Amino acid sequence: MRRRIVAGNWKMNGTVADLATVAEISAAAKTAACEVVLCLPATLIRPARNLVGMELGGQDCHARAAGAHTGDISAQMLRNAGAGWVILGHSERRRDHGESDAQVAAKVQAAWEAGLTVILCIGETEAQYRAGETLDVLAAQVAGSLPEGATPANTVIAYEPVWAIGTGLTPAPEEVTRTHAFIRARLSDPALSILYGGSVGPANAALLRALPDVDGALVGGASLASKTFLPIINALEIAHA
């Protein structure tokens, strides 16, 4: 039985005023039939940790534990702030910061060493999708950014088509099914959970959850408010029951 997980990615959103939302999500997470993780901006992890017991994560970490890396944050620092998880290789990091598969792999290793569970993001761009290169891109990303040693305890994969993020567009259900099955076949441990991400909202969560090989969701925009995030958590539970 694979882990079922709904993870929220707040990206560069949220201030202390939003801790009330964290508290609401944490209250719902207590009774959820799936694991619920909230990946917050680094500034909110410690204040959230002091307030709630739910699983918290960061959104990136450096490959080194400490040193002269202005503006960066290490996996140890996330752990020390109260995080148990970290998103790595998100397409916005790959795009905005030019992160390569090799850099992502080094970050994954660092996160594991710090005791963090990694949500490793992979996904094709719109141009790659249109060119029919999706599966090649995903195979290369799995091979290049996931080091040896991934287990269901330390790693979750998130398939996020770049063109589906924040756009309201999603692949057809049969495409998601095919793609997740392809990714699973490439994992050294097929028991790893694979989340779908990209425009997941209350309206499509149950449909996605019902698909084979989809073990949950990585949710951006809709995770920012409990009125949109809690229905996703509920939909994923019901679809599995």
Catalytic site includes residue 160: yes
Catalytic-labelled residue, pool 35, 92, 160, 237: 160
Shortest Å distance, C-beta 166 to ligand PGA: 4
Q: Which is closer to ligand PGA, CB of 76 or CB of 176?
A: 176
Q: Which is closer to ligand PGA, CB of 21 or CB of 76?
A: 21
- Distance CA(23)–CA(197), nearest Å, equals 23
Taking CB atoms, the residue at the shortest distance from ligand PGA is 220
Q: Which residues bind ligand PGA (CB under 6 A)?
A: 9, 160, 165-166, 197-200, 218-222
Yes or no: say if 82 and 114 are a contact pair by the CB < 8 Å rule.
no
Q: Which is closer to ligand PGA, CB of 167 or CB of 188?
A: 167
Shortest Å distance, C-beta 222 to ligand PGA: 6
Shortest Å distance, C-beta 171 to ligand PGA: 13
Q: What pairs with residue 119 in β-bridges?
A: 87, 156
Catalytic-labelled residue, pool 35, 55, 90, 124: 90
Catalytic site includes residue 113: no
Shortest Å distance, C-beta 195 to ligand PGA: 9
- Distance CA(148)–CA(208), nearest Å, equals 29
Task: Work out the number of other CB atoms within 10 angstroms of the CB of residue 29.
Answer: 21
Q: Which is closer to ligand PGA, CB of 63 or CB of 195?
A: 195
